[in-house]
Amino acid sequence: MQNTSQVVARNLHLFDKSSLLIVGMPDDDLLSQIEYTQAFTWDYSVYSTLTRGGYKNVSWGAELDSDAVFKQVLLFMPKSKSELDLLFAMVSSRMDVGAELFLVGAKKEGINSAAKKLVSVGEHPEKIDMARHCQLWSVIKSVESAPFNLDDWLEEYEISAGDDKLTAVSIPGVFSHGRLDDATALLLDNLGRIPSGRVLDFGCGCGVLGAMIAKRNPEAMVEMVDINALSLYCAEKTLSRNQLKGQVYPSNGLQDVTGRFNGVFTNPPFHSGVKTNYSITETFIKTLPEHMTKNAPLRLVANSFLKYSALIDAALERFDIVTENTKFRVYKAFR
Ligand SMILES: C[S@@+](CC[C@H](N)C(=O)[O-])C[C@H]1O[C@@H](n2cnc3c(N)ncnc32)[C@H](O)[C@@H]1O
């Protein structure tokens, strides 16, 4: 079990079996030890692992799918701290005054500063336990919360590449919230020819690449995949905000993608929370040929220090570096 789960597991006596919502749990076996009413995650990989493991009442989505109110909520620190305010607002809308919110997280993920924000829910947050470089906090809700509306958290920003302009729609916690990422900008300026037919935007975030592809070539049938429900929510919004069409759905790596694409465009992930994680993109690159039609192009942008050249070269043909600056490289290759 992960360290945060271990801290929860040694405090099981604190939890109310009759009405407990768990949010953002890892995909370990904590749920076999704790009696809960509902467990919720934005992470499709966690959701898939837990449901495959037979756990009941686990849900995935941009928002909780019922209006239920809980006596207790146990919140795992989100991967990005910018999600915290949104999460506090979301979960406290599911708690009456007097209900209890627990927050668990690792020191290196910033639990100390996150716990300070608990005063937005109740006046006297308390540190209940600390072990394995993690802390468990609790607060009794004393601040009335406004009704929660996810759309109130959306922000828009303008992006341009060449003569094409778009409005991106993002939300806290989604990659490059509020501003275009520099690596993505480099890829947008170097998209090359956009094929017609099925085109994949892998790890779409709020959908800037997929939307630009759809705008550049109306014959492209863009499919945008991501693991994070909030990313997919924003990608849908970005498409509709720009009157563009595309298919937006969850996939962990390429596991939930079927068939072959005439082109693949991506700024792929290299982080899981605070840790650098190359394995997702390595597996993605290795399995790409099974998902590309003959001569289909790949355009991938990444930090220059990431060693993707050899992997792409081994998986595909005609590998080349399209452009690079001090930080990023755009790679191209063909199946
Ligand atoms: C570097 S961001 C790029 C986002 C967007 N394409 C852009 O350029 O702004 C990588 C994206 O990959 C997603 N991601 C992380 N792990 C993933 C996985 N296993 N499968 C699919 N997507 C994943 C993240 O949620 C994130 O949105």
pLDDT digits (tens, 9 = 90+) for 85-130: 999 999 999 999 999 999 999 999 999 999 999 999 999 999 999 9
145 and 161 together in one domain: no
Inter-residue contact 265 to 191 (CB < 8 Å): yes
The pLDDT confidence band at residue 276, using thresholds 50, 70 and 90, is low
What is the CA 147 to chain-centroid distance, rounded? 24
Judge if 118 and 159 occupy the same domain. no
Nearest alpha carbon, ligand 1 atom 9: 205
**Which pLDDT score is estimated for 273?**
55
CATH code of the domain covering residue 160: 3.40.50.150
59 pLDDT exceeds 90? yes
Domain end (from 109, 125, 150): 150
- Cα-to-centroid distance, 295 and ligand 1 (Å): 25
* Residues 120 and 204 occupy one common structural domain: no
Q: Which of 103-107, 143-147, 156-160, 319-323 has the lowest mean pLDDT?
A: 143-147
Question: If you measure from the C-alpha of residue 124 to the centroid of ligand 1, how many angstroms do you get, rounded to a whole number?
Answer: 37
Whether residues 305 and 265 share a domain: the answer is yes
Last residue of one domain, picked from the residues 104, 133, 150: 150
**pLDDT tens, 278-328?**
888 999 999 999 999 999 999 999 999 888 999 999 999 999 999 999 999
- Determine the 3-state secondary structure of 3 from DSSP: helix
Q: Which residue(s) pair with 333 in the sheet?
A: 298
Output the CA 268–ligand 1 centroid distance in Å.
Answer: 6
> Domain residues for 230?
154-334
132 and 254 assigned to the same domain:
no
pLDDT of residue 67: 86
**Same domain for 122 and 204:** no
Atom of ligand 1 nearest to the CA of 201: 6
- Position 162 scores a pLDDT of 93
Cα angle: 36, vertex 80, 151; to 5 degrees? 80
pLDDT at 271: 66
Give me the mean pLDDT over the 234-245 stretch: 98
Distance CA(72)–CA(37), nearest Å, equals: 10
pLDDT digits (tens, 9 = 90+) for 174-206: 999 999 999 999 999 999 999 999 999 999 999
List, chain by chain if needed, residues with CB within 6 Å of any ligand 1 atom: 45, 175-176, 181, 184, 203-205, 208-209, 225-228, 231, 251-253, 267, 269, 280
Quick one: pLDDT band at residue 158, thresholds 50, 70, 90?
very high
In the chain, the number of structural domains is 2
Calpha distance 151→35 (Å, rounded): 32
